[in-house]
Amino acid sequence: MYQRIFVPVDDSDTSNLALAEACRLAKHMGSTVRLVHVVDLAQFGWGGTEFLDAAELQKSIKQAGEQVLGQAQAQAVAAGLTPEVKILESWGDKIASVLLDDANGWGADLVVMGTHGWSGLMHILMGSVAEGLLKQADIPVLLVRNAGE
C-alpha cells in the first residue's frame, strides 16, 4: 500500500518512536524509506553576527544534522532497512513547507513523523511542524506521539 515512506527526524525521543513505527510499516510492506533532517541556516546567514564566523556556524549546524541523520539511519539499518538519507536546508522557510516540498518531489505516499502534542502556551511559543505539515499535506500523514511527554 505505502511504497515510499518519508520520515523527518530530529534527536528527540518522539522522533525515534516515529522512526520505529515507520520501520515496522516499511518492513511489513516492503517500502522504501527516506529519512530527512532540516537544518535552518538562516539564523546565522546575515547581520547580527559580526563577532561570529557565520560560515563556520552553518558548517557546525550541518554537521550536527548529519549526526542526527546518522543515528536515525543506524536505527533503520538495525531494523533491517536500507534507508535513503538527506539533509534539507532551510533559509528561514517554514520547516513544514521544506519537508513537504521534498516529500512531494521524492514521490512519498506516506509521511511518518513525531509530534510533541503541545498545547496552550507551549504550542504558541514552539509552534508545531507536524501541525503545519498536516494542514498542507495532500498525502497521508501518520503522527506518532510520545505518551511520556
State residue 80 phi and psi, 5-degree precision: 95, 15
pLDDT of the residue at 93:
79
Please give the Cα distance from 111 to 20 (Å, whole number): 13
pLDDT of the residue at 117:
61
Mean pLDDT, 10 residues at a time, the chain of 149 residues: 95 92 98 95 59 73 93 97 95 88 98 77 59 92 83
pLDDT of the residue at 125:
44
pLDDT of the residue at 77:
98
Please give the Cα distance from 128 to 49 (Å, whole number): 27
- Beginning with the edge strand found earlier in the chain, give each strand of the sheet holding 32-40 in spatial order: 84-90, 32-40, 4-8, 110-115, 141-145
Helical packing angle, 129-136 and 95-106, nearest 10°: 50
pLDDT of the residue at 124:
47
Topology adopted by domain 4-144: Rossmann fold (3.40.50)
pLDDT of the residue at 78:
97
